[in-house]
Amino acid sequence: MQVLLNTDPHVDGRHTMAEHLTSVVNDALSRFKDQVTRVEAHLADAHSHEKTSPDEIHCTLEARLVGMDAVVVKAHADTAHQAIQLAAGKLKRAITSDLEKHDSKRGAARPTAPEVDLSA
């Protein structure tokens, strides 16, 4: 699974932040490693123009799943690390939900064979 980090100029996008993101995403999505091909993260400081207010970092995670539409979640927190952690948890729940829906649709569309009584 490929993990990509995109940041605005007001958020730390150095190598250590990318490593943190990769670690958190891999931990959260380890059970989906065969279904998820790529996760893109977008970090932005919502109040970069207002220096008097505290940081509010927005994290958007977009996961690309094999044979399905992308799953996108958003979270915000005081720090980038917290926002990534919150978004990763949301992404895990969203992927679980989407895969369950996808599997139930595939199962419902599958015709069932008629039951045959072999005891006669």
pLDDT tens sequence across 37-89: 999 999 999 876 665 456 689 999 999 999 999 999 999 999 999 999 999 99
Q: Which residues of 31-55 are buried (b: 16+ CB within 10 A; e: fewer)?
A: ebeebbeebbbbbbbeeeeeeeeeb
User: Considering its fold, how many domains does the chain have in total?
Assistant: 1
Q: In terms of pTM, does the model score above 0.75?
A: yes
Question: Residue 46: what pLDDT?
Answer: 81
Q: Find the domain containing 24 and state its range.
A: 2-102
Mean pLDDT of the residues in the chain: 86
Q: Is 118 inside a domain boundary? A: no
Whether 119 is covered by a domain: the verdict is: no
Q: Indicate whether 116 belongs to any domain.
A: no
The answer on pLDDT for 106 being more than 60 is yes
Q: Do the domain assignments include residue 115?
A: no
